[in-house]
């Protein structure tokens, strides 16, 4: 058992805190998941000329959430849709809000995951004043729905392409300059980091906006196994839950603020993981957790209605 790392170009090693051994993965039979650098795995094989020839390998067994909490009863682990600026997207969003305004019990929380702009907010981006105005317009649209404004909370989570200091994880919340007008109209608006954790009564819900399927696929050391699934989203769920980490990639692939790495940890396993990814929207259950990708509202008007009490996911669209 150890961490896969590349200590020399083209040479991979399995290492722990005390030692390392070079491994040959070319003939390895694997279980479901993305086997990239920086993932922890169990490997079975034989030593030949100082190199460990891996025959089979897989992720460490998953620890049940209830068992984790029994072992650590005093620890507080919790403490340690996408609108675009285009008029037609805001119009469709207003249609969705109109329908929620008329239901008997309005949603407790509406979550907006970036990108909040149709192109990346990089050094060449020069439309921040326009983006600020669009957030104000979104605030006025929400404000036209008095029941939602009064009783619901609105959570905004930035994407890798949204305005911010860098693409390092975890990402800080959207700049106050952009959201000031919306905050003034909607007191219940919350602008969080990415990833974000929500405590809903006794349930832990994790939101993460990142195109993880593509990045994990690009970094795989071994081709995906098709014995258990042909769905990359299920491979992703298996990987992050077994690794207890939202983005188990090498730091050169995805920089992380090391003092805040715990924000990306999935230990104990949360009840629900929402992965905002560019891949096809999906729902699956793995290791006791409900995982889903809500899709892209700005691309195909898809979104998800989620009921924490039953962990039921309703795939919706206009």
- Hey, which residues does 111 pair with through a beta bridge? 155
Quote the pLDDT of residue 80: 54
34 token code pair? 């993305």
Which sign does the torsion angle of CA 84, 112, 195, 32 carry? Answer: negative
What's the pTM?
0.82
Q: What is the pLDDT of residues 170-217, one digit of tens each?
A: 999 999 999 999 999 999 999 999 999 999 999 999 999 999 999 999
Give the dihedral sign, CA 241/243/249/251: positive
**Distance (Å, rounded) from C-alpha 209 to C-alpha 81?**
11
For the record, the structure tokens of 60 come out as: 């460490």
What's residue 35's pLDDT? 92
Cβ count near 299 (within 10 Å): 11
Specify the pairing of strand 153-157 against strand 189-191: parallel
Is the backbone peptide bond immediately before 142 cis, with ω within 30 degrees of 0? no
Q: What is the SS3 assignment for 97? A: helix
**3-state SS assignment for residue 136:** helix
Render pLDDT for 39-96 as a digit per residue (tens, 0 to 9). 999 999 999 999 999 999 999 998 888 888 888 777 767 765 344 345 788 999 999 9
Query: Distances in Å between the alpha carbon of 291 and those of 79, 210, 252, 269?
Result: 22, 14, 27, 11
Q: Where are the alpha helices (DSSP H) in the chain?
A: 65-71, 87-102, 128-143, 146-151, 176-185, 212-218, 232-243, 297-300
Q: How far apart are CA 108 and CA 309, in angstroms?
A: 12
User: Per residue in 255-265, pLDDT tens?
Assistant: 999 999 999 99
Tens of pLDDT, residue by residue over 128-161, are: 888 899 999 999 999 999 999 999 999 999 998 8
Contact 273, 290 (CB under 8 A): yes
C-beta neighbour count of 98 within 10 angstroms: 13
**Could you tell me the sign of the dihedral formed by the alpha carbons of 118, 295, 286, 205, in that order?**
positive
Residue 124 has pLDDT above 70, yes or no: no
Question: How far apart are alpha carbons 138 and 157 in whole angstroms?
Answer: 15
């Amino acid at each position: 058992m150890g961490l896969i790392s590349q200590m020399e170009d083209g040479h991979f090693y399995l290492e722990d805190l005390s030692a390392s051994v070079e491994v040959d993965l070319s003939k390895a039979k694997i279980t479901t998941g993305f086997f990239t650098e920086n993932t922890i795995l169990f490997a079975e094989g034989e030593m030949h000329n100082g190199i460990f020839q891996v025959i089979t390998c897989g992720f460490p067994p998953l620890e049940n959430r209830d068992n984790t909490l029994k072992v650590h009863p005093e620890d507080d682990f919790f403490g340690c849709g996408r609108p675009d600026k285009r008029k037609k997207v805001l119009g469709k969003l207003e249609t969705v809000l109109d329908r929620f305004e008329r239901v008997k019990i309005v949603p407790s929380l509406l979550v907006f995951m970036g990108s909040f702009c149709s192109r990346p907010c990089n050094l060449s981006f020069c439309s921040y004043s326009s983006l600020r105005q669009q957030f104000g317009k979104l605030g006025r649209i929400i404000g036209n729905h008095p029941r939602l404004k009064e009783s619901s909370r609105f959570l905004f989570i930035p994407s890798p392409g949204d305005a911010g200091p860098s693409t390092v994880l975890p990402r800080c919340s959207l700049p106050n300059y952009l959201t000031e007008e919306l905050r003034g109209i909607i007191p219940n608006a919350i602008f969080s980091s990415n990833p974000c954790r929500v405590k809903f009564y006794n349930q832990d819900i994790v939101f993460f906006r990142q195109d993880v399927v593509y990045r994990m696929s690009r970094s795989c050391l071994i081709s995906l196994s098709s014995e258990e699934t042909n769905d990359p989203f299920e491979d992703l769920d298996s990987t992050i839950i077994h690794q207890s980490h939202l983005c188990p990639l090498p730091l050169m692939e995805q920089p992380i603020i090391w003092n805040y790495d715990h924000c990306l940890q999935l230990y104990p396993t949360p009840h629900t993981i929402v992965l905002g990814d560019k891949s096809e929207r999906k729902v699956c259950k793995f290791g006791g957790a409900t995982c889903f990708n809500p899709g892209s509202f700005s691309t195909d008007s898809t979104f998800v209605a989620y009921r924490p009490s039953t962990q039921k996911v309703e795939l919706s669209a206009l």
